[in-house]
Chain A
């Protein structure tokens, strides 16, 4: 009867992986009822009632400046403020999510803050949607039910959802905070897989070191997360996804020598501020996204066909 925890573990890993692959943009409600600062509390209450929604963002030229929730309305009703402009009573300093951020960031945000909805903004900081736990549940249930058959027929470990038919190998690894003991599990397996396929040692080293750096990053700097490996004939893709605390200044984190590591992490030989710059240098494609209190996602792609990259000799 030990298949139940295994199954639960698989589901949980798959959800984490899904949450990393989907973007907030993919699940958010796009039809948003927003008001301007001069609208009255009563206007907002009418909008809420007729559209069955529980929170309305207040915008100024599409920029979110506040939020009115059912609570705010109830309070206004009690105090006799229903004719006041919303700007007077709205919640200010509203946290927003970026539409390009992975869904995992939204999940972290809901677990860390007491809010039940977040306005979603685009790169220009303009309101483009709203996200609630309901959006997330629906998206995940949809995605999971589509994959249920696959999960049931899999006997061994879990494979990521987003694999193409060219995929040769793919696996998701759970990486726990401060677990230096098992750090390198994914890197070791990646190396084995590439060796078995006769990939050039130089490229194997680049991929394995990039993978190891990303594993250590999750172990040393995050609350925990997952690392996903994907290999096909052309490339290796390593995706590291964690659930916070996020990097306040990504440019700074990409600077060699900058580190926030504790003395203990340093005593383990890590935290020299070289992990991310190393990984970027070793990668043919590199992307990082981070949200404070929400998480960090790093993608590293290494091409397996060296003739396509002239700069390989320098790596």
Chain B
């Protein structure tokens, strides 16, 4: 599934990415070191860490997208870096668990 096709209730895209990466899975974690150790290329990163370093980590690990949970607002500088790194950012109203379930569901469709 392409990031442009990602859609589920409570999900909003706040930053588009022209490269439109393929989402092949997901990784849910708020610990960025843990993300760096375990996220597989193509995974969407599901997290509550709404700041610039999240984008840096997503970019280094080859994440397809970043999904912020609990409706957290992405700061303007985070979106700026996301645009530069060409990474799509979404905001989900649900918890990490709910968002993860929704992504699994979306990937199955």
Chain A residues within an 8 Å CB radius of B72 = none
The CA-CA distance from A270 to B62 in the complex, in Å, is: 19
The segment from A46-54, A135-143, A204-212 found at the interface with B is: A204-212
Chain B 51-77 residues near chain A, CB threshold 8 A: 51-54, 56-57, 59-62
Chain A 263-298 residues near chain B, CB threshold 8 A: 268-270, 272-275, 278, 281
* Interface residue from A201, A212, A281 paired with B57 (Cβ < 8 Å): A212
Question: With A180-B53, A181-B52, A183-B53 in contact, do A272 and B60 touch (Cβ < 8 Å)?
Answer: no
Task: Give the number of chain B interface residues (Cβ < 8 Å).
Answer: 20
The CA-CA distance from A13 to B59 in the complex, in Å, is: 28
Q: In the complex the two chains form, is B51's CB within 8 Å of A268's CB?
A: yes
| Chain A 149-184 per-residue mask, 1 if CB under 8 angstroms from chain B, else 0 | 000000000000000000000000000000011011
Q: In the complex the two chains form, is B41's CB within 8 Å of A278's CB?
A: no
Q: In the complex the two chains form, is B49's CB within 8 Å of A212's CB?
A: no
Question: With A187-B56, A188-B56, A201-B41 in contact, do A269 and B30 touch (Cβ < 8 Å)?
Answer: yes
Nearest-CB residue, chain B, relative to A208: B60
Chain A residues within an 8 Å CB radius of B37 = 209, 274, 278, 281
Q: In the complex the two chains form, is B30's CB within 8 Å of A212's CB?
A: no
A191 at the interface (CB under 8 A from B): yes
* Range class of the A interface residue count: 20 to 34
B32 at the interface (CB under 8 A from A): yes
* Interface residue from B36, B52, B54, B56 paired with A278 (Cβ < 8 Å): B36
Q: In the complex the two chains form, is A269's CB within 8 Å of B60's CB?
A: no
A17 at the interface (CB under 8 A from B): no
The CA-CA distance from A23 to B41 in the complex, in Å, is: 40
The CA-CA distance from A275 to B37 in the complex, in Å, is: 9
A213 at the interface (CB under 8 A from B): yes
**Nearest chain A CB to B80's CB is how many angstroms away?**
12
Q: In the complex the two chains form, is A269's CB within 8 Å of B54's CB?
A: yes
Question: With A201-B62, A269-B30 in contact, do A209 and B36 touch (Cβ < 8 Å)?
Answer: yes
* Interface residue from A181, A184, A187, A274 paired with B34 (Cβ < 8 Å): A274
* Interface residue from B31, B49, B54, B57 paired with A274 (Cβ < 8 Å): B31
Chain B residues within an 8 Å CB radius of A274 = 31, 33-34, 37
A interface residues (Cβ-Cβ under 8 A, vs B): 180-181, 183-184, 187-188, 191, 201, 205, 208-209, 212-213, 216, 268-270, 272-275, 278, 281
B interface residues (Cβ-Cβ under 8 A, vs A): 30-34, 36-37, 41, 47, 49, 51-54, 56-57, 59-62
Known pairs A180-B51, A268-B53, A269-B57; list 7 more (Cβ under 8 Å): A181-B52, A184-B60, A188-B56, A209-B36, A216-B53, A269-B47, A278-B37
